[in-house]
Amino acid sequence: MKKKILVLCTGNSCRSQIAEGYLRHFSGNRAEVYSAGTQTHGVNPKAIAVMREDGIDISMHTSNNVDEYSNINFDYVITVCDNAKEQCPFFPGNALKFHHNFPDPAKATGNDEEVMKQFREVRDMIKEFSATFINQHIKQSRQA
């Protein structure tokens, strides 16, 4: 049975979308990955662009509110910003909760290249976190 993972952020526009893309990529067909926000801000075009640079297409992702998933029994809930951790709703069942506060690239300042550099840095942090998470929790759980 596939594990169900929810990635939660405030606006479901950047960090959670990037994490959803990488968690899907690294888990292959071993997990169902969802992302949501405590609010919805639409998928940030710069997040789509930096993921495309790394060969992952998130252009069809949608920005969803966490309330849309209240009927899903998640195995893992990952919050990727402090605000989402504080506002994380209760999920029935035995979902294991994880938290990692990534910088918000949507708040990056500077010229276009400086902003994209910050998006790439956050993308790379999330990529490393996602690969480690899948290796520790999804791949190992299949062997148990």
Catalytic residue positions, numbered: 9, 81, 88
For residue 26, give Cα distances in angstroms to 48, 94, 112.
Answer: 18, 23, 29
- AA identity, residue 117: K
Q: Which distant-in-sequence residues (6+ apart) come within 8 Å of 55 by Cβ?
A: none
CB 31 within 8 A of CB 3: yes
For residue 111, give Cα distances in angstroms to 51, 115, 136.
Answer: 20, 6, 38
Q: How far apart are CA 24 and CA 143, in angstroms?
A: 19
